[in-house]
Amino acid sequence: MEIHRVSHSRALEARGVVIVIDVIRAFSVAAYAFAGGAQSLWLVRTVEEAQALRKREPDALLIGEVGGRLIEGFDFNNSPSQMAAADVRGRMLIQRTGAGTRGAVTAANATHLLLCSLTNAQATARYARKLAETSEGIVTLFPTAFFEEIAPPNEDSICADYIEALLLERDDAATVLADGIKYLHAIDRFAGFEPGSGDFPAEDIPAVLAADRFDFAMVGSRQQWRNITCVEAHRVDVNQ
């Protein structure tokens, strides 16, 4: 198995099974949405694209953030704890975030596209190994956190380290994860999250760090509607 990594600037180089990672918080939110019974998730790059797709699908719910904060007119912020408490069973969700959804849409040359956070890392790694058998054994990890203040190592690169250890079936995978989470606390990565906050609730911290809570992969496919390119994602239970 060949394992590569790309950043946003090299997203078009991502090949084979591409695992797009956003721990804080886009794909943690996505995982809790699917765990809550969401039908599908459409990922877009811009607020305007999300609003245009809602006009096409008026019953869809809008999720997202700009600068981490709720977008006016959207139904939910980018909060996994709030999503876990929401009733989204059977609903279509449209999501826009600054890093994760942008990365998923930009990875245009993927043979298979998977969305991942710590919450479904192990399931994603298992599913990726199966898919790699038909993708020349190539897996590309795409950690999407890219801002200067959270340059690597950050939560997404730590998740990528964990997934790589799982893909290679290394004995130290659990240690890689534990050391990574310890590091995030040491650098005070969760400063600014406060109990009861509308945009940065402290309840999000255990939600994003609930590693391997969900036993499903989130599989995306590129879709085109008028001038909008999006990724439509569905839940795939890996044990079926």
Residue range 212-224, pLDDT digits in tens: 999 999 999 999 9
Which residue's entry shows tokens 């849409």? 105
Cα 32 from chain centre: 11
Instruction: Tell me the C-alpha distance between 160 and 81, whole Å.
Output: 23
Taking alpha carbons only, the member of 38, 188, 2, 26 closest to residue 118 is 26
User: Do 42 and 101 contact (CB within 8 A), yes or no?
Assistant: no
Q: Which amino acid is at 80?
A: P
pTM: 0.96
Instruction: Tell me the C-alpha distance between 164 and 158, whole Å.
Output: 10
| Residues ≥6 apart with Cβ < 8 Å to 127 | 114, 217, 219, 236, 238
**95 token code pair:** 């999501």
**33 token code pair:** 């949405």
What stretches in the chain show pLDDT beneath 70?
Answer: 147-152, 240
| Share of residues in the chain with pLDDT > 90 (%) | 93
Which residue's entry shows tokens 């990890």? 141
pLDDT attached to residue 76: 96
Give the pLDDT confidence of 119-172 residue by residue, as tens digits.
999 999 999 999 998 878 999 999 999 754 556 689 999 999 999 999 999 999
Q: State how far the alpha carbon of 181 is from the alpha carbons of 74, 155, 169, 178, in Å.
A: 31, 8, 20, 5
Pairing outcome for strands 2-5 and 138-143 = parallel
Query: What are the chain's domains?
Result: 2-237 (3.90.1560.10)
**18 token code pair:** 């591409």
